[in-house]
């Protein structure tokens, strides 16, 4: 299967981890989700086949382009067009032709209407095969989801059908040079016109696939401020600004004044063009239409935020998985030194060395833990949006809100750490770009930053999530973990039980401390280590749940192995974060 | 001072951290080292000035080339020459002309004859200013040190004077495609000739500055095997193979058959050409002379190993320092969001956010801890080599041997982690290459791999260092730590005292476990987390020592702040590694 560089390094193909994905979909209650009235059209029995088919398509079509995407990168041309790397545009056309764009979309627009939980599995497969490629369809889906939720009927009729299929792509234009984490200071202006449209003027940065050669039309969703808008976040509106105006018959009309001035030279995801977009470069302003309420732009964006953040969490998981597959193959093939079991005069594959096994198992167990945390959050989002019972819906909304910053920040931190281990397993070859291991590390680094830096996620957790319903949401979460720990009957998991018990007690203490402090800075000073502790406790709990479910099946041994390693060897370092969490802000104050 | 990119990112100059370096040199007993008879010629009072002058020279001359070195990189030409980035060769000439090459060299060859401890400070300044550049002089110094220790008088007379000044550079040619961590399987052949020379044939990879345009002559030290050599590590000899043969009058003669076939395309340190070197490409074999004993090549290399590994440890420290300086400046300038102290309507510099302060203090305290661990190891190397009292010499040799894998592996792991925090502080700009933060991360990644991967360091620690003198070396180390913990009288350090006490108890337990296991694989399975624990305990002890020394001085507040943060907030996560250290090899065995 591999078209490798042989003994001194190899670039492997991608093998979709379908068995673990199917198992986790079961653990996360796909049956329950798919049985909701809103998903009556979904044949849950067909999901594994669909996932398998998607995995094969991505492995065959876009995974082989991952390396050339990094080597060539997207290029900005003097005429302000962007050329993506060789093969990318053709692969995108295949993606559209095969109908993959519509899987997660609403059946109202001929989409598959699958739950987000299934969409996440689909995202994992696509992102692992080729992260840079996947960013175009995923951003487009986010944009069309926002239009569906907030757009007028006319706007939806104009844009959605072709965005669903992927014939047109979409962007999210939020960030400006002075407005990154803090969108309240956005300066892009939108002037109302007599015909009800707006004229937009301003510069947006970090616009993923803001310009490209995948499709003719690009539908920009742009945050901007109308002349009389209140200051700050309450004065921001969302506008749809197409690259080409759309004629009444749906055909493309005049070129709109939305220009890609340049693309960034980045550490990774080089095939994904990160654009500086200028609206109104030629003086009149770019033509846009209001989406949703005036001054309700940020609120509209925020309704998409859980989905988008889970999408980035998936990126951490995806690159960890890709890195792991490559490192595992290398460790099996590369001969170096002698292990305790090596016959005299022979050499051992490096996987025989205990230290390499530690690295591989750290990767494998972390990947499983990430997948469980992300998928269970996606299931909570589905139940929170679609369950007919208000009580169940609200409880799941709360869980989704609590788990989303954990999934985003911890999975991207861990994804980066795992890709670094992948480099290390390759030794000197890991530092050589042709090996391909370094690309995963470089690509993974961005996920800790965008869609809200991981520091912002930690502030969100402390400031907005822990206090929900007087702290009852997180306490109920702890009670469920406690009950599941108590229910562990497998004596082979007694050390795991102990480690989880200690982690839970530490997290309860840290959470009570967070609830008790009077200074917000004291709480925020411990936000990042607290997020790590709560994430690893939650993931450890899910790993135990997996081990329990796997008991008596052919996964029992392998699942118990990763569960034990994660809970007994990795989790204690998170438990030890309590002193850092509760040290307060004074300990961090500059001394000069 | 900065020629920055302004509000949206900046590339800063380098400010040598002279105050902390001077303080640490004092803490490590520079006075005691310099008072040894072998260093009678050294004026210890002049050392701070020398260090300061070196820092200014490197900050002015090579620090500004760091970015262009990364952007342009070294280039391999069709005629097998290598062109280094613009400005590098001229800067190297300045370095040679100013006499910096000779600072650490033996006075016998007109070198400064400074202790290694001073040489390490010098290395830190040079590596922080421009790591890629520094690799050429540092490799050359290693090569000349090996020649001085093992070469015949004739070889020394031929090569050393010009290598000391830097007019000629040197390389270490060890690795082959099949022989990386395991040098026993080296295949390069050396055929003895009638005139006493040898003809070498073979390919070496990963040869730093194996070809370049800094100097005409390049002196390769090559490990190879003579025809009748025994198999394995006991059949490897060291040869000096100059790029140009040297005439009797010292002038350069015929071109030797040593060819750079290509250079690697790497993730970082792009200005440093990493060469594939072919010896004997044209059929006759490259002319070489034996250095030291026949079949004693690996032993000769190993006598240089502590120095070389400390050199790489310094690289972790250096890139962390450079990354920290840049991140701190950015955090002071970049405005984003509001902090608790921000007046309404204004924005805060991101350094006002507690989470950013946590990142900066993690960087700062880790850097101080690395610097102390590395410098104290260098002092032990000096005392172990030069103290007139055999007992003192042996005790220090033992400490140097024990601390070297800690300094190498932990400082490079931590250096990489710190540069990643540096990227994170820059937010989205950190991922953009023009900002310069990503280069430090990319450059730092190699140090975990070369000069013995960090996994190899951990195996060395467990297999060769812990058992020295029946385990008494490490136990005496623990006793010294225990005494210093007990002597802490500052009530402001009581939490630090507690954290160190717990870490020491954990490390004692883990060490006793290591001594008790009957399976070497069980010990090796815990080698990497054990190394981290012992490193952080040792570094934490040195941080407390710094705080004690700083009491009553103007450093008291700042030193106590970093000491407390390191010991109270970072160290506990290492203490929590005991379950991972003592889990044994069975927990890591593959399940299929």
Across chain A, mean pLDDT equals 95
| Chain B CB contacts of A336 below 8 Å | 180-182
**Measured between CB atoms, which of A420, A569, A576 is closest to B572?**
A576
CATH number, span A169-296: 2.40.110.20
3-state secondary structure of A203: strand
In the prediction, which pLDDT does B339 show? 82
pLDDT higher for B301 or A498? A498
3-state secondary structure of B175: coil
In the prediction, which pLDDT does B549 show? 97
The span from the first CA to the last CA of chain B, in angstroms, equals 59
A12 confidence band (pLDDT: 50, 70, 90): low
Interface check for B175 against chain A (CB to CB < 8 A): the answer is yes
In the prediction, which pLDDT does B4 show? 35
CB contact under 8 Å between B428 and A180, yes or no, is yes
The answer, yes or no, to whether residue B241 has pLDDT greater than 70, is yes
What's the gap in Å between the CA of A55 and the closest CA on chain B? 23
Calculate mean pLDDT across residues B42-66.
95
B325 confidence band (pLDDT: 50, 70, 90): very high
What's the gap in Å between the CA of B430 and the closest CA on chain A? 9
CB contact under 8 Å between B525 and A587, yes or no, is no
Please state, for a pLDDT cut of 90, what percent of chain B lies above it: 90
Interface check for A579 against chain B (CB to CB < 8 A): the answer is yes
CB pairs under 8 A between A and B: 233
For B226-274, the three-class secondary structure string (H helix, E strand, C coil) is CCCCCCHHHHCEEEEEECEEECCCCCEEEECCEEEEEECCECCCCCCCE
What's the gap in Å between the CA of B525 and the closest CA on chain A? 5
Interface check for B6 against chain A (CB to CB < 8 A): the answer is no
3-state secondary structure of A189: strand
CB A133, CB A88: distance < 8 Å? yes
Please state, for a pLDDT cut of 90, what percent of chain A lies above it: 90
CB contact under 8 Å between B455 and A356, yes or no, is yes
CB contact under 8 Å between B572 and A565, yes or no, is no
A592 confidence band (pLDDT: 50, 70, 90): low
CATH architecture of A304-337+346-452: Up-down Bundle (1.20)
The answer, yes or no, to whether residue B336 has pLDDT greater than 90, is no
CB contact under 8 Å between A424 and B178, yes or no, is no
In the prediction, which pLDDT does A111 show? 83
In the prediction, which pLDDT does B11 show? 52
Please state, for a pLDDT cut of 70, what percent of chain B lies above it: 98
Interface check for B568 against chain A (CB to CB < 8 A): the answer is yes
Place of tokens 């090559």: B222
Find the closest chain A residue to B448 by CA distance.
A424
pLDDT higher for A30 or A106? A30
A302 confidence band (pLDDT: 50, 70, 90): confident
Find the closest chain A residue to B568 by CA distance.
A579
Alpha-carbon torsion A418, A578, B339, A293, what sign? positive
What's the gap in Å between the CA of B255 and the closest CA on chain A? 30
**Both tokens assigned to B70:** 């990364």
Count of C-beta atoms within a 10 Å radius of residue B570: 24
Calculate mean pLDDT across residues B541-564.
97
CB B304, CB B146: distance < 8 Å? yes
As beta bridge partners, residue B279 has B202, B258
Q: For B479-515, b where at least 16 C-beta lie within 10 A, e where not — what string? A: eebbebbeebeeeebebbbebbbbbbebbbebbebbe
Pick from A329, A324, A235, A242: nearest CA to A286: A242
* In chain A, residues 58-97 whose CB comes closer than 8 Å to chain B: none
Choosing from A394, A451, A476, A568, which is the catalytic residue? A451
CB contact under 8 Å between A577 and B573, yes or no, is yes
In the prediction, which pLDDT does A591 show? 77
Q: pLDDT tens for residues B137-159?
A: 999 999 999 999 999 999 999 99
Calculate mean pLDDT across residues A208-216.
98
**Both tokens assigned to B288:** 């070489």
Across chain B, mean pLDDT equals 95
CATH topology of domain B6-165: Butyryl-Coa Dehydrogenase, subunit A; domain 1 (1.10.540)
β-pair type (B218-224, B169-173): parallel
CB B527, CB B465: distance < 8 Å? no
Among B205, B266, B354, the residue to mutate for chain A (most A Cβ within 10 A): B354
How distant, in Å, are the alpha carbons of A535, A560, B111 from that of B406? 30, 33, 30
Q: Which residues of B are catalytic?
A: 451
CB contact under 8 Å between B181 and A358, yes or no, is no
A8 confidence band (pLDDT: 50, 70, 90): very low
B104 confidence band (pLDDT: 50, 70, 90): confident
Indicate the domain borders of chain B.
6-165, 169-296, 304-337+346-452, 454-586
The answer, yes or no, to whether residue A235 has pLDDT greater than 80, is yes
B468 confidence band (pLDDT: 50, 70, 90): very high
CB contact under 8 Å between A182 and B519, yes or no, is no
Count of C-beta atoms within a 10 Å radius of residue B385: 17
Interface check for A355 against chain B (CB to CB < 8 A): the answer is yes
What's the CA gap between A73 and A272, in Å, rounded?
A: 7
Calculate mean pLDDT across residues A292-300.
95
CB contact under 8 Å between A430 and B453, yes or no, is no
The answer, yes or no, to whether residue B255 has pLDDT greater than 80, is yes
The answer, yes or no, to whether residue B1 has pLDDT greater than 70, is no
**Measured between CB atoms, which of B205, B337, B558 is closest to A181?**
B337
As beta bridge partners, residue A266 has B432
What's the CA gap between B577 and B591, in Å, rounded?
A: 23
The answer, yes or no, to whether residue A130 has pLDDT greater than 80, is yes
| Chain A CB contacts of B501 below 8 Å | none
3-state secondary structure of B71: helix
The answer, yes or no, to whether residue A6 has pLDDT greater than 60, is no
CB A181, CB A453: distance < 8 Å? yes
| Chain A CB contacts of B576 below 8 Å | 572-573, 575-576
Interface check for B355 against chain A (CB to CB < 8 A): the answer is yes
**Both tokens assigned to B193:** 């000739």
What's the gap in Å between the CA of B314 and the closest CA on chain A? 19
């Amino acid at each position: 299967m591999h078209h490798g560089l042989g003994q001194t390094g190899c670039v492997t193909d991608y093998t979709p981890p379908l068995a673990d994905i199917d198992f986790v979909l079961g653990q996360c209650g796909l049956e329950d989700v798919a049985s909701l009235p809103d998903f009556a059209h979904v044949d849950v029995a067909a999901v594994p086949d669909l996932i398998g088919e998607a995995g094969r398509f991505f492995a065959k079509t876009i995974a082989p382009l991952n390396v050339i995407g990094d080597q060539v990168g997207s290029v900005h041309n003097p005429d302000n067009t962007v050329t993506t790397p060789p093969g990318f545009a053709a692969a995108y056309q295949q993606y559209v032709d095969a109908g993959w764009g519509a899987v997660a979309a609403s059946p109202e627009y001929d989409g598959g209407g699958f739950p987000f939980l299934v969409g996440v599995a689909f995202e994992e497969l696509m992102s692992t095969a080729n992260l840079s490629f996947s960013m175009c369809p995923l951003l487009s889906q986010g944009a069309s989801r926002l239009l569906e939720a907030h757009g007028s009927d006319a706007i939806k009729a104009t844009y959605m059908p072709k965005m669903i299929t992927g014939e047109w792509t979409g962007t999210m234009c939020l960030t400006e040079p002075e407005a990154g984490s803090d969108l309240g200071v956005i300066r892009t202006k939108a002037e109302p016109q007599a015909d009800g449209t707006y004229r937009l003027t301003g510069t947006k940065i970090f616009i993923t696939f803001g310009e490209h050669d995948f499709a003719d039309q690009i539908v920009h969703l742009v945050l901007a401020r109308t002349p009389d808008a209140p200051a700050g976040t309450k004065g921001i509106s969302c506008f749809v600004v197409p690259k080409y105006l759309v004629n009444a018959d749906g055909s493309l009309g005049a070129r709109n004044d939305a220009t890609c001035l340049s693309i960034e030279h980045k550490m990774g995801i080089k095939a994904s063009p990160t654009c500086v977009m200028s609206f109104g470069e030629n003086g009149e302003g770019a033509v846009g239409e209001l989406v949703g309420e005036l001054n309700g732009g940020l609120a509209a964006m925020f309704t998409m935020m859980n989905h988008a953040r889970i999408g980035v969490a998936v990126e951490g998981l995806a690159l960890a998985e890709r890195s792991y597959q490559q490192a595992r193959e290398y460790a099996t093939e590369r001969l170096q030194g002698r292990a305790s079991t090596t016959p005299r005069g022979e050499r051992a594959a490096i996987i025989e060395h205990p230290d390499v096994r530690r690295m591989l198992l750290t990767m494998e167990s972390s990947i499983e833990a990430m997948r469980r945390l992300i998928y269970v959050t996606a299931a909570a989002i589905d139940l929170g949006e679609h369950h007919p019972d208000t009580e169940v819906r609200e409880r799941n909304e709360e869980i989704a809100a609590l788990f989303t910053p954990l999934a985003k920040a911890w999975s991207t931190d861990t994804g980066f750490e795992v890709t670094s281990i992948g480099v290390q397993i390759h030794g000197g070859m890991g530092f050589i770009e042709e090996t391909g291991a370094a690309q995963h590390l470089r690509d993974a680094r961005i996920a800790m930053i965008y869609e809200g830096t991981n520091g912002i996620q930690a502030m969100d957790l402390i400031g907005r999530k822990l206090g929900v319903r007087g702290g009852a949401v997180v306490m109920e979460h702890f009670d469920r973990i406690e009950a599941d720990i108590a229910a562990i009957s497998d004596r082979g998991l007694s050390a795991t039980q102990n480690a989880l018990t200690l982690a839970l007690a530490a997290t309860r203490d840290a959470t009570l401390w967070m609830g008790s402090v009077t200074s917000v800075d004291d709480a925020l000073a411990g936000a990042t280590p607290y997020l790590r502790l709560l994430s690893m406790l939650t993931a450890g709990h899910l790993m135990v749940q997996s081990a329990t479910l796997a008991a008596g099946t052919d996964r029992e041994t392998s699942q118990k192995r990763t569960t034990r390693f994660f809970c007994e060897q990795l989790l204690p370092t998170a438990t030890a974060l309590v002193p850092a969490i509760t040290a307060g802000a004074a300990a961090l104050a500059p001394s000069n």
